[in-house]
């Protein structure tokens, strides 16, 4: 039967470039990430650029599903690997330094932590989550060396291109800082994945789409699209209780995501397309607890609209 999916980078019903598709075609294997907490801090928490961190960030520094920082990295690695193998018996691994800002330490510390993981059997790469203002020249030189040893991806938090929102959420870095770091990493041939958040307080649908249009004009290799979720004991929870700003409905979120996908080059890999909060810590929105329903509803709505990633742009084949 002829495949009616109009999207090229897919062997399923997905009309966007999934990470699973990319891994299987790139590595000819099932690949899963092993999320690690290396015990790093954040310059937006300790006073270097700000205090308290981004207002939505939990005490775990956006590493709620990473390993336990009290455990040695190799213990974390083995625990999570064993858990993942209950679902996938045969796979390769990517070490994912997730919690807090994972380049915010002296290079000798980074080297000890990163290379401990890449030396493990069947580890084919590292994903390192960080901020664009937390990679200095010495760190960048080391990342260039690391990129020669393994498949390196740097995940940069951006969240929004809009200055008023960035100030509200206490990001404490500029858009030009972000753009310059993307250029520096790509000059070194290091892959870049960008994190954005939909539903940030007081942003409009048009503003969220503008963030994606901006990113589509940069040489990035992947994107993570999150839905804002309000967690207990965060500054965001305090402001929500006081201001009662609007939270996107599931239907609004799906509509925005599909529009965003249409403005992204087909070659950009979609690493994530919804949030994934811990249920016990979630304040709003409750519909985020049904992750697979959201994914299925996105698929159905894209078929209904005859929509697919890149529908509104021409793929420039940036890799």
Host H or E run for residue 57: none
- 316: in domain: no
Strands (E), 25-90: 31-36
Alpha-carbon span 274 to 284, nearest angstrom: 14
Q: How many residues does the chain have?
A: 319
Strands (E), 131-190: 151-159
- 2: in domain: no
Owner of token pair 């004009």: 217
**Left if phi > 0, otherwise alpha if psi is -120 to 50, otherwise beta: which for 141?**
alpha
Give the pLDDT of residue 209: 98
Alpha-carbon span 221 to 135, nearest angstrom: 19
Give the pLDDT of residue 70: 79
Residue whose C-alpha is closest to residue 21's, from 317, 216, 222 = 222
- 275: in domain: yes
In a 13 Å sphere around the CA of 230, the CA atoms on its Cβ side amount to: 20
Give the pLDDT of residue 66: 57
Contacts 24+ apart (CB under 8 A), 292-301: 294/250, 294/253, 294/254, 297/250, 297/254, 298/254, 298/257, 298/258, 298/273, 299/13, 299/14, 299/15, 301/254, 301/255, 301/258
**Local structure of 197: helix, strand or coil:** strand
Count of other CB atoms within 10 angstroms of residue 210: 17
Residue 227 belongs to what domain range? Answer: 19-305
How would you list the strands of the sheet with 191-198, edge to edge?
A: 31-36, 92-97, 123-130, 151-159, 191-198, 222-227, 269-272
CATH number at residue 230: 3.20.20.70
Give the pLDDT of residue 317: 45
- 193: in domain: yes
Domains of the chain: total: 1
- 71: in domain: yes
- 110: in domain: yes
pLDDT, averaged per 10 consecutive residues of the chain (319 residues), comes to: 74 95 93 93 88 83 59 92 83 93 96 96 96 97 97 97 97 96 98 98 98 98 97 95 96 98 98 90 94 96 97 64
Q: Are 34 and 96 in contact (CB under 8 A)?
A: yes
In a 13 Å sphere around the CA of 159, the CA atoms on its Cβ side amount to: 27
- 319: in domain: no
Strands (E), 150-296: 151-159, 191-198, 222-227, 230-231, 269-272, 282-284
- 37: in domain: yes
Owner of token pair 């207002």: 55
Sign of the four-CA dihedral 168, 173, 178, 180: positive
């Amino acid at each position: 039967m002829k495949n009616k999916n109009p999207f090229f980078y897919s062997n399923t019903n997905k009309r966007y470039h999934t990470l699973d598709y990319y891994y299987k075609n790139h590595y000819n294997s099932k690949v899963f990430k092993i999320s690690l907490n290396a015990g790093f801090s954040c310059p937006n928490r300790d006073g270097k650029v700000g205090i308290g961190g981004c207002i939505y960030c939990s005490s775990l520094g956006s590493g709620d599903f990473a390993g336990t920082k009290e455990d040695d990295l190799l213990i974390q690695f083995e625990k999570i690997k064993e858990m993942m193998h209950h679902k996938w018996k045969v796979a390769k691994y990517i070490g994912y330094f997730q919690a807090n800002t994972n380049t915010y330490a002296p290079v000798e510390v980074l080297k000890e932590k990163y290379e401990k993981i890449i030396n493990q059997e069947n580890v084919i790469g590292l994903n390192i989550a960080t901020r664009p203002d937390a990679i200095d020249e010495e760190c960048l030189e080391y990342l260039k060396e690391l990129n020669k040893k393994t498949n390196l991806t740097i995940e940069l938090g951006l969240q929004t291109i809009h200055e008023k929102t960035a100030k509200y959420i206490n990001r404490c870095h500029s858009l030009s800082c972000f753009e310059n770091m993307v250029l520096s990493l790509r000059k070194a041939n290091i892959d870049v994945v960008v994190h954005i958040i939909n539903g940030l307080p007081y942003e409009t649908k048009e503003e969220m789409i503008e963030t994606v249009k901006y990113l589509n004009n940069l040489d990035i290799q992947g994107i993570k699209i999150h839905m804002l979720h309000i967690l207990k004991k965060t500054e965001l929870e305090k402001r929500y209780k006081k201001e009662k700003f609007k939270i996107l409905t599931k239907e609004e979120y799906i509509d925005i995501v599909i529009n965003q996908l249409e403005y992204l080059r087909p070659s950009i890999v979609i690493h994530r397309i919804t949030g994934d909060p811990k249920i016990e810590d979630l304040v709003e929105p409750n519909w985020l607890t049904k992750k697979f329903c959201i994914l299925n509803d996105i698929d159905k709505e894209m078929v209904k609209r005859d929509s697919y990633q890149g529908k509104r742009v021409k793929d420039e084949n940036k890799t």
